[in-house]
């Protein structure tokens, strides 16, 4: 799995855990819903750290908590 898909999967997982819809997360995080949807789909190949920080703020977690998940242990190398 590449990093982009891992980030998307982690956002979905956290939304499920907190029982929050993507639109609600966008409102809480102060970002347009399109920003989150582009991260969840193939439109955004490089989710920005500032956007991720805002999403984490909306979920009441830290960036460390966001990335502290097994999904990030086996990320494919980008340079081949």
Per the domain annotation, does 76 fall within a domain? no
Q: What is the pTM of this model?
A: 0.89
Owning domain of residue 55: 3-69
CA distance 14 to 75: 19
Please give the pLDDT value at position 52: 95
Per the domain annotation, does 79 fall within a domain? no
Per the domain annotation, does 13 fall within a domain? yes
CA–CA distances in Å: residue 60 to residues 42, 53, 73: 26, 10, 23
Please give the pLDDT value at position 42: 72
The number of distinct structural domains making up the chain is: 1
pLDDT digits (tens, 9 = 90+) for 21-65: 999 999 999 999 999 999 999 777 788 899 999 999 999 999 999
* CATH number, residue 14: 1.10.260.40
Per the domain annotation, does 78 fall within a domain? no
């Amino acid at each position: 799995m590449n990093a982009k898909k891992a980030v998307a999967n982690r956002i979905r997982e956290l939304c499920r855990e907190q029982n929050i819809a993507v639109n609600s997360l966008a409102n809480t995080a102060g970002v347009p819903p399109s920003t989150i949807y582009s991260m969840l789909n193939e439109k955004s190949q490089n989710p920005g750290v500032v956007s991720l920080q805002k999403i984490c703020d909306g979920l009441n977690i830290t960036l460390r908590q966001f990335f502290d998940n097994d999904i990030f242990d086996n990320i494919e190398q980008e340079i081949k």
